[in-house]
Structure 1
Amino acid sequence: MENRKIRVGILFGGKSAEHEVSLQSAKNVADAIDRNIYDVVLLGIEKSGRWRFLDQAKYLLNENDPKRISLNKENQKSVTLIPQSGGELTDVETGQDHSAVDVIFPILHGPFGEDGAVQGMLKLAGVPFVGAGILGSAIGMDKDVMKRLMRDAGIPICKFLVFRQNDQLDFDEIVNKLGLPFFVKPANLGSSVGVHKVTDRTSFSSAIQDSFGYDNKILIEEFVNGRELECAVLGNRNPYASVVGEIISISDFYSYETKYIDENGANLEIPAAIDDETSDRVRELALEVFRVLEGEGLGRVDFFMKDTGELIVNEINTLPGFANISMYPRLWEVSGLSYTDLISRLIELSIERFEKLENLKTSF
C-alpha cells in the first residue's frame, strides 16, 4: 500500500429500514474522503440484499431528497466477496475478479449491516473494515442485551421492559412499573425508526403493532425528563472522547424526520452548555460504555441529564450517521478533527486492528 493509494470500498444501503439514511451518509463520506490518499470503490447493497459495483458518476437517484433518495441500479455489476478473498470482488454473473479493495468502510445502519452480520462476512473474507467487530456490533444493535450489560457494569440506565412476539402486554401493569408517558421501540433498530412515545391507552396498541413490524423483540422504556447529551468516541484499545453536544429538539422527541430530513427540527449545540465537571463525567462515562460494550473504531454514546444533574446512559450507536446534519462528525469537527481527517483516522484504525489480529497465533 505504500507506493499506491489505499483502495477503500464504501459499503452502503442494505436490507434495513435505515437504507435511505445509509445512502445519505455514504454520499457524504464519498464526497469528503481524501482522494490524494484513497481510491474509492462504491458498493451499494439493494434492499433485496444484492451487492452492486456502482459507477461513481451516477450512483444515486434523487440524491438531494432524503425521502426519495435511492440506488441507481441501471447497468451496475452485481458483485460479492467470498471467504479468504482478501478483499477481491467477484462478478456474480461472470465469475470474473475485480481489483481487490484494501479496506471496507461500511456505512450501514440497522440489521444486516450494523448488527455483526456484515462484520462476520468481512472477517471471513480477510479484509479490514471500519467500526466495531462482530461482538461489539451485535451488542450495540440489541438494546436489550446492551442495557443488561451496562446495568451489570454499574452504568446508570433507565428502567425498561422487554417483550417478544406473542407475549401478553398489559397496559396497566406497564404503567405501574414505568409510569406515563413511556417509549416503545424495536430492540434491533436505530435512527428512531418504529419508536413511539405513548401517553395514553389509545396510543398504546398502535405503537406496539408498529414496533413489532420492525422486530420480533421490543423494548418499553420509562420516560426520562432531561436534556439529551451526546459524546463521540474514537479509537480501538485506547479510545478518546470528543466534546459533548446537546440536542435541543423542537419536536416531541428526536425522531427520524428530525435526525435526517428536517434540518430545522432540532438545534445541535456543540459544545453543550454544561459545566466542566459534568462534561468530564459525560466523557468518562462514554469511554466506559465503549469499553464495556466492546466498542472499536467509533461510537456515539447518548445520555439524558436530569435537572438534578444525574446522568442516564441511553445507548451506544456503533455506526452513527454521517449525514451533513449528523452529530458524530460535527462533534469531532468542534473537537478539532475535520470530516476528512476523521475518515482517514477511522480507516487507519481499521487497518491497525486487522494487522494485530493477523499476528495472533492460529496453532500451538
Structure 2
Amino acid sequence: MSQRLTGLSGSARAGHVLVAIPIAWIVAVSVIDVLAPPGIHLGPLLVAAPAITASFGGPRTVGLVATLAVVAQATIGVLRNKDTLLSANHQAQIIALVLVGASLVIFCVLRDRRARELTQVRYVSETAQRVVLPPLPKHLGPLRVASLYLAAEAEAQIGGDLYAAARTASGTRLIVGDVRGKGMTAVGDAALLIGAFRAAAHRQASLGELVAYLDGSVCWNLTEPGETDRSGETFITAVILDIPDGDGRVEMVACGHPPPIVLRNGRPTTMDAPQPAPPLGLGELARPRYRVDSFPFEPGDLLLLYTDGVTEARDSTGAFYPLAERITGWPENDPDAFLRRFRRDLLRHVGGHLNDDAALIAIERTTLS
C-alpha cells in the first residue's frame, strides 16, 4: 500500500510540473498574437493547450487549462479590437475553445472511470490467482524450491496456469499445468485439478495411477450435470513428477506440457518424454496408457518446471523466448536467485509486458537422504 501511495504522489508531482507546459503555451501564443500584425491571427493555436493537458492530466486540470485558454482568447479579442468588444472571428474561436475543452473534460472523465474499473478488475483477478496459487514452500524435504508467477497485463485477463506440491512418505510430488483458455472458468478448472492432486498425491499409488485419477477428475468436472458439456473442448496440459528423497532419479508423466529442464554446471538439458500422453481431460477420448519416464536429478542440479507462457513470450520482432539458450551458463544454483535473474531477463525480452500468464518453478536438490 505504501508503495502504491508513493507512486501516486510521484505521479501528482509530475503532473504539476507538466501543467506548466500548456500554461506557457497559452502565454506565448497570447503575447505573440497581440503583438502580431492585424492580418495574423494565432488564437486557434490555443486549442493545443487543453489537448496537451489531456495526455497527462485529469478532468479538473484539463478544465482549468481550457478555461485559461478561453480567457486568453477573450483577452486577445478585446486588445486587438479597440472599436468593438469582440469581433465575429474571435467569438467563433471562443465557442470552438469551449466545445473542445468540454469534450476533452468528458473524455478524461470516461478515461479515468475506465482506468479505475480496470484497476479494480486486475486487483480482484490477482487476489483470486493468489488464493488458487499460493507460493510453494521454500523447503520440501531435501529440496529447495522457489516459484514465480507473472500475470499477463492485457485487460487483466488471468489465465489457468497452475502448480502444486505434496510430500509423501518417500519423497515429493509436483504438478505444473496450464488450462486451455482464460478467465474465471480457467481458474476454476485449475483449482479443481489442484484440489484433486492434493487429495490423491499422498496415496501410495504409482505415478501412472495418480495421473489416471487426475484425468478422470478433469473429465468428470467437464461433464458435470447442470453445466454445458465441455468435453473435448477444454483440457489441461500438465507434467507430473515424483522426486524420491533417496534416489537421484525423477519419475515423470508428461501430458502435452513443455518438458522440464535440468541445469547442471550452467548446462541445460531438456527432459523430453519419448511418448507424451494427451492433455488431462482428453483421456476418455484417447484412452491413453500413461508411460512413466525418468531422468537424473543429482545434488547441486537445478530442475526447472514452467508453462508455455515462458517459451511463447515474444519480443518486439515476434521471436519466442529461447529458455534453454538464455539460461546457458547461468551460475545461480539458489532457486530464489535464479528466479530473480530469470524474471529480469524475461521481462527485458518482452519489453516489460507479457501477453500471457507465465509460471516457473526452480528446484534444487541439496542431498540424497
The structure with higher relative contact order (CA 8 Å, sep 6+) is 1
| Global fold match (TM > 0.5) | no
Q: Which has the higher strand share?
A: 1
State the TM-score, normalized to the length of structure 2. 0.24
TM-score (norm 1): 0.25
**Structure of higher CA gyration radius:** 2
